[in-house]
Structure 1
Amino acid sequence: MGTPATASARSEGSLNSALLSFRPNGVEQALEIDTRSSLLDVLREGLGLVGAKKGCDHGQCGACTVHVGGRRVLSCLTLAVQVEGCDVTTIEGLSRADGALHPMQQAFIDHDALQCGYCTPGQIMSAVACVREGNATSPDNIREYMSGNLCRCGAYVGIVAAIEAAASKLQGPA
């Protein structure tokens, strides 16, 4: 981590900065960053993509979940230099180009799977990965897969119902 191979170029005069090139939500970006910066901080502070939340900043709550190369990651634990050349999807990039909500976003609304909303972006990003990875086969499997995403309001019943409903739409009829 932090080796010259993980970032495009080093800035002159600073051993702690690097040029990071990646594609958040399909948009090519090149930023000079501190090599010690988390992906979460670069997304929120560098790019203004504030959907991923800084909950615990220790990888224990899941509020910062995003997808890197199609896999869910905790952005608070991911060094930004690790996403060099990668596609990164945040909650802001989940909806369709025409503005229509992703089926998982709509299911969260339809099933009252949120209360205060703080954890919701991370919950939705994990829920999409849950379905994509084939783990939405039963309520027990969903609960197990989603156990890394905490909701202080206790909207878990709605979250499981939303994932079940969206899974049928995302996977199609059996």
Structure 2
Amino acid sequence: MKPNLKGVVLVVCASLLSVPAGAQETSSSPDLATASDMLEISDIFARATPPNAPTGAVYFSLVNLGEQPDRLIAGTTPMAQDVQFHSMMKEGDVMQMRQLVDGVEIAPGEMQTFSPGALHVMLIGLQQPLVEGDTFSLTLEFEHAGPVELDVPIAGIGARSAPGGANPLSSEGPVDHDRLQSRLNKSNRSRQ
């Protein structure tokens, strides 16, 4: 059963700060828009790690504003040897983490939330600890939108949201909820 997208967007956006994904086109195809026209990435953060932790995680919300499905297919960062996408599933009484080797698909007009205890970006083979208050770069590669470079703020160990409720990618302040809803409505109308 799919949740009501409008309700989900309004609830999630109430606590988010947002910035369009600012990537360049990866194709000269006229029907392929820039990532900022296709994706909205918000509430980006990682959790601090203990000194010798081999892994870390990154969380955010991702909305596909485009007219075609897209897929998050890869990631890179100087902070880790590998970037993977993982989901958490309950099997019996035990939570199991699974690598999503085919990436993460996001349908037009839908949101994917990467959050603690659920879907997340896993940083494997950390080069150094993730220290609260620092930031690091992360490039996410999308099948259609191409590469999206992000600055990821590091929140405290066990944090459930971005530090200070601010998105370090935006100097524009809080998300304009009306603008985001308008973009989603326009995107959905163009598909009807």
TM norm. shorter chain > 0.5: no
TM-score (norm 2): 0.23
TM-score (norm 1): 0.24
The structure with more helix, counted as a fraction of residues: 1
The structure with more strand, counted as a fraction of residues: 2
